[in-house]
Amino acid sequence: MRLAGPGVRSLRLWGVCAPAVVLVIVVALLVLGRTSHSSRNTAAGPPHTLVEVSPGRCGRGWDDPRPGVQVFDLRNTSDQAADVYLEDPGSRAVYGEAEGIGPGTTRALTVRLGKGAYALRCVPEDADAVMGPTVRVDRGVRGPAAVAVTVHDLIPPAIAYQKWVAGGLDETVRLTGALRAAVDRGDLAAARRAWLPAHLQYERLGAAYDAFGAADRRINGTDAGLPRGVHDPSFTGFHRVEYGLWHGEAARTLRAPAAGLVKAVTTLRDDWAQNRMDPAQLGLRAHEILENTVQFELTGRTDYGSGSSLATARANLDGTREVLTRLRPLLATRYAQLPGLEREMNGAQSLLDGFRHGGRWTRPAELSRADREKTDAVLGDLVERLASVATLCDPRRTS
């Protein structure tokens, strides 16, 4: 799994809309967020309400509640940046948020309001949160909402996931040791058979979003950006050994790369026991693993001769499922589409399993057009759904 850079979080609509709808709304919010508005109603779009954001006047200006889609122009009149959440003051479910509103600036937040109670909560950068006045809407259907997840909520699943990864690294050390032993005795046929189980075991651990830091580059990096490509001394790890095994290299030239792989995996295993995973990254990991899979494995960009890219995609699906298993207690009450997501995960598993024929996996380039389109569509839809998981599990300040 290749590393993916962190995304920027600014404006979000909370809830469980269909992925395509969520995507359209998010794009619209980002466009709106680049402009400032005065309080106004326009015939061309939803009504606008200018609302003050400050510790002393949080939510002031919203005195004409109405149902339907509308835009809050959030004006930060304080001297520090602030986040703003539109909440149900009773359940603390969040309908929308705008983050990092700078002093003296205005940001737009689009929401759909229906019958119920609402309040804006202002969270200054270096001060306690302030809840604005409660506003009631007497009719209409409310938009989607979810109770915010905190870092405290994420600590137990993060600890459980870290322990699972530790066990997986033990197994990776064992399997890479078997790979090295086959290379050392010159049995390259056995080494080719040993390479895939070792690599898939590592891939299941979900090394997305910088989970393993620089160690992942040494263990699972490609030749991208290296001056001499596959012949560069910095090309190491699983793919260096893969290239040699499937391009006719002699066993003696592969002994050092195989030994280096075992050393790198063993060091990661030993260091992992002393590390503490950032709980805030767990939701991101659920999304990034398969996003990287679509980018690298489905395109065949990481195939150095073994033809196992779809096997890797299947291992990445296992890794995603492990993350979701730890997050499930939090998602069960926040993500109404969780059953549908789990059904799609099962469908993707069956689809990928169908590309295995005995000990051989179909290469992406060998897929029929129909299979290619179906695979891209199924995994692409999963990536969109998992983006909602990442959003819901991104921790917020609640006080």
Q: For 312-351, what is each residue's pLDDT tens digit?
A: 999 999 999 999 999 999 999 999 999 999 999 999 999 9
Average pLDDT over residues 99-118: 95
Q: What pLDDT, in 10s, does the model give residues 124-177?
A: 998 999 999 999 999 999 988 999 999 999 999 999 999 999 999 999 999 999
* Domain residue limits, the chain: 17-143, 151-392
Q: Which fold is adopted by the domain 17-143?
A: Immunoglobulin-like (2.60.40)
Question: What pLDDT shows up at residue 397?
Answer: 81
Question: What pLDDT shows up at residue 30?
Answer: 33
Question: What pLDDT shows up at residue 44?
Answer: 65
Question: What pLDDT shows up at residue 305?
Answer: 97
Instruction: Tell whether the model's pLDDT for residue 43 goes beyond 70.
Output: no
Question: What pLDDT shows up at residue 151?
Answer: 93
Tell me whether strands 116-124 and 82-87 are parallel, antiparallel or unpaired. antiparallel
Q: Which fold is adopted by the domain 151-392?
A: A middle domain of Talin 1 (1.20.1420)
Question: What pLDDT shows up at residue 45?
Answer: 82
pTM of the model: 0.82
Question: What pLDDT shows up at residue 276?
Answer: 86
